[in-house]
Structure 1
Amino acid sequence: MEMTNSLLPLYIMFDFTLSVSQETFSPHHLSRGGSDETETRLEEEKSVESFHSVAQDPIPQDSGSITPSDIPPSIKHTELSPSTLSVVSQSGGKLGEAGREELSSPLHELVILKHPIRTRGLKMKPPNVLVFSESSATLDNTVAVLHSTLQRHRYCIYPTSKPLLLSSPWSDHAQLLVVCGTVPDVLAPVFMSYLLSGGHMLCLCSDFLHLVLPTFRTAEVRERELVHFSYGRWKQVPMMHHIFCYQASPAKSRFPQEDDGHRLTNPPKPPATVEVMDGENKKHTLQVQVLGAEETWHTPSLLLASVGSSGGKVVFSQVHLEVDPGQYESEETKFQALQKSDKARLEILQDLLSSHLGLSVAENQGPLPAYTPGYFLGRHELKLDFLSALQPRLKADNILKLNLLSLQFCGKGVEPAKPTASLMPVFLHACPQRFSTVEYFENLHSEHIGRLLIFSEVMTSSMEGLDGAVLHHGLAVVASQQISGAGRSGNAWLSPEGCGMFSLQLHIRSDSYLGHHVPFLQHVVSLAVVLAICSQTGHEDVDLHLKWPNDIYVGDCIKVGGLVVKTIVDNTMTVCNIGVGMNLDNNVPTTCINTLLRELKLAPLSLEKFLALVFTKLEKLLVTLEKGSSGVDQVRQLYYKYWLHSNCEVTVIGPQGSKQEVTILGIDDFGFLQVLAKDGCAFSVHPDGNSFDMLRGLIAPKVK
């Protein structure tokens, strides 16, 4: 694919903030600092005079260094989402107002996998829990109760919508689908297909029961009825019942009223099995089990239906397990009864999720960890330069305001503010207790990348420590735990303790290969992470691989790492903020690097050594890219050594439904997938923006 030189090509995996650029870009290297001498605790305690005295006598900048004045104040920022991105067609196009090329015809050719990549081991579904409801209040309630019920750091809980469920390849990437209330007709077959193919579902007061268990009939309950039901060891629990309850053949058309004066002693029993048809008119047998019943009519309040052939399971609850008692505060009788049964409500939900749907639930996990201060680590002179450059942008109390987080730089004798989600004090002259500066700097052999580092044990997200400012080429922000880690396309990134997480700011100027191909950077970073582990002596058998475009896998089925890149572009340089998360020493939610190393009887990696190795490898790769075509080829071959997609077949679906089988060749100069058609024609494709599987819904520009 030929790209125009006047346009910086945008890549779908980047969250780009763009201004029109007529230049090209290259990595910028500061000329100051960068010795390989060992950093020690003693050096961290050196007196850096008071921060104000440094600022009053700033150190002059080299001609090659970047200062805030290098960024024109009139940069226009335009946020581009995957759905608004365009690519350059082979037939050409015009440059839009936001600096992106607009095609004369829309992007509409889809690419889907025909033969998925081979499987080396046990298939492990991503830890995604999807929640659907047409009521926003019910959706919020359900997401909230799942967050408090499921084990923290093991699952990503996403509210979802009808358009997403109809358009995205979510079914292979969800451990659980939670459905509340009414199911639109168009979604019913989608949900049924998910269940019959092995999916697990929790339906809370949902009419999806009509489709799965069509032999059941409806008995009407008074709306907002408070009933008593029993399940397992929980007896006569008062709960709010759905407006309908279900049974095989009701003796009456409604629940007994208060003055009926009788109970149903011999309620009809539901069938033990039912048969349903899939979209191809194939019969499936479901085993039906009543888990809990209402006390008056003994009608089913909790049901389990299992698909023996595939392992699919669905639990139906006709009591409102998602409803917090506070919603009935204005109705005193109901409120008091529900308050007393609230502990049982949550315990029942936990038991259903763990015993029947196979999820791990929370057991006294306590509140989220408290935010902690940061520690500014690095060589004395580099810190002086950094602080001097920052001075014009600091507010009162030495506070630097970023987009979502403010950093308060605290010298000796300064009383720090309390760390919060929006404010992090950063100590200039102290060392953290849980991060070894000695081990980190002993293993760091880069000249620029990672030479300055801010470490915090607990913060919202390491990316927030960089977002919103041009700071320093190679500056890293590291967190032991993140409260609000984020991945590609807004996906949540789980951040349990032991996970290797960092963000990095790189400044790229206009006279290099990478400057012409900025989207290629994400591939270089993911390769650096894999090389940092696999290129160590004795680590040759560690089974790490790269899944296009920027995920890291054990084998080809278990994700252990990923990255996101956010970029600001102007006429002189590109500032790239890169966020990386790697399962380093945490087996939750999947597996981790140190488990692999221990299985091979190798020593585990500390966070400090892992970071140092990654930063060293990344800088070497960036330098290699600057050697011209030979260096680019060298990086490509290293990338292909670890990637999963060689000779993988995909099918291109054209605008009129025509299909074309193609084979993946590799990646082009901008990181797009390059494919080969049967007629020998090669072209490039990119993702459609779905957040589940980047190899589903690939898009190719229409070629005239």
Structure 2
Amino acid sequence: MEKVQGGASTSGLHLIHLRGKTQFDVDTAKRHLEKVPVEGPFHVVPEAASTENLAKFDVARYFYALQGFRFGHILLSAEHIPSTQTFLYENVKSFPTGITFVADVQGEGKGRGDNAWHSPHGCLMFSHVISIANGSLLPFLQYVVSLAIIEAIQQEAARCLQVPNASEAVDVKIKWPNDIYAPGGKKLGGILCQTVFLDQQFHVVIGVGLNVTNEEPTSCVAAVMRDAAARLQVSHAEVPTRESLLAAIMARLEVLTHTFVKDGFAPLQGAYLANWLHTGQAVKLVESDPATGKEQEVQLQVMGLAPSGYLLAVDRAGKRFELHPDGNRLDFFKGLVRKKL
């Protein structure tokens, strides 16, 4: 094997390690790879071909913590990669659904639009593939992922702080539509979903970036739990790891996705709204008056989610509106437009 330097070989190939919770998982992934090899400057090394751990992510610790039946049981890992999201999106045919790809460092992590992000050590950066037949569910999948992350952080808080009411101890919230925020308005992470339609299925590549132990540039899960431990006077609280948190996210995502695919988003909506920032939030829209052509401000109040998955809001007269972003801004709450329901 060629010497690895920063996750890439001397020939310019990015080396990616393939492992499974069981040998059956590894064999399943290898069969897919044999049928459709990956494209681009990447070399996927199955577990049977090497016992060397090419990434600092502790795969053994992750699999030990992983519960559930399928999600995350096949794991790709790399020390450095341009983007886990781009790799899986461009090679989705090469891997079975339920696969997860985690990297220590990303140089060109994918964000909304054409934004690229450099992700530092301490950040949990992964992409995961889910397949869904019902296309009408797609707009809500990002909400399911957001809820899974929130519940996983709460679960890890309960374990690390050894307290039963972890949801109160760590007040992490969802900023619509797909960001995770710490108390004080500091962003912890975000979610990106990209879809490929193949073989009568929608294959959704879910990308997640979550600050776990890196407090810069905003805050991280470890800092949130440290503050909670001080407030609750918990000494010797365990520090969360990328491995334990990813295992918890995979377990919660599998449970929630099962409900979601079977019954839609309705059974999960209450939990989602209980964990978001926006119920009762006042929003201000700037619109053109149809009579005069002059700009005017319109005051609305967010009440929940509309059937479409966009924001549901009411005006002072109680009229209901659907709010959606104009598509031109990173902050979705700036530039909202409304549609009467």
Both structures adopt the same fold (TM-score exceeding 0.5): yes
Q: Is the 8 A contact 1:662 1:676 kept in 2?
A: yes
In the other structure, the counterpart of 2:56 is 434
2:116 maps to a residue whose letter is A
2:209 maps to a residue whose letter is G
Instruction: Determine which structure has the larger strand proportion and give its number.
Output: 2
Are 2:177 and 1:522 aligned? no
1:534 to 143, 147, 154: 154
1:642-672 C-alpha deviation (Å, 9 max, x unpaired):
2111101123333323443221011124421
Q: How far did residue 685 of structure 1 move?
A: 1.5
Whole-Å Cα distance in 1 between the matches of residues 262 and 191 of structure 2?
Answer: 26
Q: How far did residue 627 of structure 1 move?
A: 5.0
- SS for the counterpart of 2:288 is coil
Whole-Å Cα distance in 2 between the matches of residues 508 and 626 of structure 1?
Answer: 7
Q: Is the 8 A contact 1:523 1:671 kept in 2?
A: no
Matching of residues 144-543 of structure 1 within 5 Å: 369=6, 371=8, 373-378=15-20, 379-394=22-37, 400-401=38-39, 405-410=40-45, 428-432=49-53, 434-468=56-90, 469-470=92-93, 471-510=95-134, 515-536=135-156, 537=158, 538=163, 539-540=166-167, 541-543=169-171
Whole-Å Cα distance in 1 between the matches of residues 61 and 122 of structure 2?
Answer: 17
1:286-328 C-alpha deviation (Å, 9 max, x unpaired):
xxxxxxxxxxxxxxxxxxxxxxxxxxxxxxxxxxxxxxxxxxx
Q: How far did residue 692 of structure 1 move?
A: 3.0
Q: How far did residue 494 of structure 1 move?
A: 3.6
1:199-220 C-alpha deviation (Å, 9 max, x unpaired):
xxxxxxxxxxxxxxxxxxxxxx
**Larger Rg over CA atoms:** 1
Q: How far did residue 430 of structure 1 move?
A: 2.2
Whole-Å Cα distance in 2 between the matches of residues 628 and 660 of structure 1?
Answer: 36
Q: For the structure 1 residues 566 and 627, does the alpha-carbon distance in structure 2 shift closer, same or farther, using more than 3 Å as the test? A: closer
Q: How far did residue 679 of structure 1 move?
A: 2.7
In the other structure, the counterpart of 1:679 is 317
Identity of aligned residues (%): 30
Q: For the structure 1 residues 450 and 695, does the alpha-carbon distance in structure 2 shift closer, same or farther, using more than 3 Å as the test? A: same
Q: How far did residue 435 of structure 1 move?
A: 3.1
Q: For the structure 1 residues 428 and 613, does the alpha-carbon distance in structure 2 shift closer, same or farther, using more than 3 Å as the test? A: farther
- SS for the counterpart of 2:119 is coil
Are 2:310 and 1:688 aligned? no
Q: How far did residue 431 of structure 1 move?
A: 4.5
1:339-397 C-alpha deviation (Å, 9 max, x unpaired):
xxxxxxxxxxxxxxxxxxxxxxxxxxxxx956362211102122222222332333xxx
Q: For the structure 1 residues 612 and 561, does the alpha-carbon distance in structure 2 shift closer, same or farther, using more than 3 Å as the test? A: same
Q: Is the 8 A contact 1:472 1:506 kept in 2?
A: no
Q: How far did residue 474 of structure 1 move?
A: 0.8
1:73-120 C-alpha deviation (Å, 9 max, x unpaired):
xxxxxxxxxxxxxxxxxxxxxxxxxxxxxxxxxxxxxxxxxxxxxxxx
- SS for the counterpart of 2:72 is coil
Matching of residues 10-29 of structure 1 within 5 Å: none
In the other structure, the counterpart of 1:594 is 222
Whole-Å Cα distance in 2 between the matches of residues 561 and 481 of structure 1?
Answer: 15
Q: Is the 8 A contact 1:587 1:595 kept in 2?
A: yes
Whole-Å Cα distance in 2 between the matches of residues 486 and 410 of structure 1?
Answer: 24
Q: For the structure 1 residues 437 and 651, does the alpha-carbon distance in structure 2 shift closer, same or farther, using more than 3 Å as the test? A: closer
1:603-643 C-alpha deviation (Å, 9 max, x unpaired):
111111111000000111112224537xx444112111221
- SS for the counterpart of 2:26 is helix
Q: For the structure 1 residues 702 and 684, does the alpha-carbon distance in structure 2 shift closer, same or farther, using more than 3 Å as the test? A: closer
Q: Is the 8 A contact 2:148 2:253 kept in 1?
A: yes
Are 2:297 and 1:664 aligned? no
In the other structure, the counterpart of 1:615 is 250
Are 2:210 and 1:568 aligned? no
Q: Is the 8 A contact 1:373 1:427 kept in 2?
A: no
Q: For the structure 1 residues 370 and 622, does the alpha-carbon distance in structure 2 shift closer, same or farther, using more than 3 Å as the test? A: closer
- SS for the counterpart of 1:493 is strand
Q: How far did residue 519 of structure 1 move?
A: 1.0
Are 2:280 and 1:647 aligned? yes
Are 2:182 and 1:554 aligned? yes
Whole-Å Cα distance in 1 between the matches of residues 198 and 76 of structure 2?
Answer: 27
Q: How far did residue 562 of structure 1 move?
A: 0.4
Q: Is the 8 A contact 1:545 1:643 kept in 2?
A: yes
Between 1:564-573 and 1:526-535, the stretch displaced more is 564-573
Matching of residues 29-108 of structure 1 within 5 Å: none
2:128 maps to a residue whose letter is L
Structure 1: any 5+ residue segments left out of the alignment? Answer: 1-367, 395-399, 412-425
Q: Is the 8 A contact 2:76 2:100 kept in 1?
A: yes
TM-score by length of structure 2 reads 0.82
In the other structure, the counterpart of 1:272 is none
Q: For the structure 1 residues 410 and 531, does the alpha-carbon distance in structure 2 shift closer, same or farther, using more than 3 Å as the test? A: closer
Q: For the structure 1 residues 473 and 370, does the alpha-carbon distance in structure 2 shift closer, same or farther, using more than 3 Å as the test? A: closer
Q: For the structure 1 residues 682 and 570, does the alpha-carbon distance in structure 2 shift closer, same or farther, using more than 3 Å as the test? A: farther
- SS for the counterpart of 1:373 is strand
Q: How far did residue 702 of structure 1 move?
A: 7.2
Q: Is the 8 A contact 2:17 2:45 kept in 1?
A: no
1:440-479 C-alpha deviation (Å, 9 max, x unpaired):
1222112121010101111111112202233321111100
1:410-432 C-alpha deviation (Å, 9 max, x unpaired):
46xxxxxxxxxxxxxx9744251
Aligned length: 308
TM-score by length of structure 1 reads 0.41
Q: How far did residue 484 of structure 1 move?
A: 1.4
Are 2:227 and 1:603 aligned? no
1:172-224 C-alpha deviation (Å, 9 max, x unpaired):
xxxxxxxxxxxxxxxxxxxxxxxxxxxxxxxxxxxxxxxxxxxxxxxxxxxxx
Q: Is the 8 A contact 1:544 1:552 kept in 2?
A: yes
Instruction: Determine which structure has the larger helix proportion and give its number.
Output: 2
Structure 2: any 5+ residue segments left out of the alignment? Answer: 9-13, 290-294
The RMSD of aligned alpha carbons is 2.4
In the other structure, the counterpart of 2:292 is none
- SS for the counterpart of 1:644 is coil
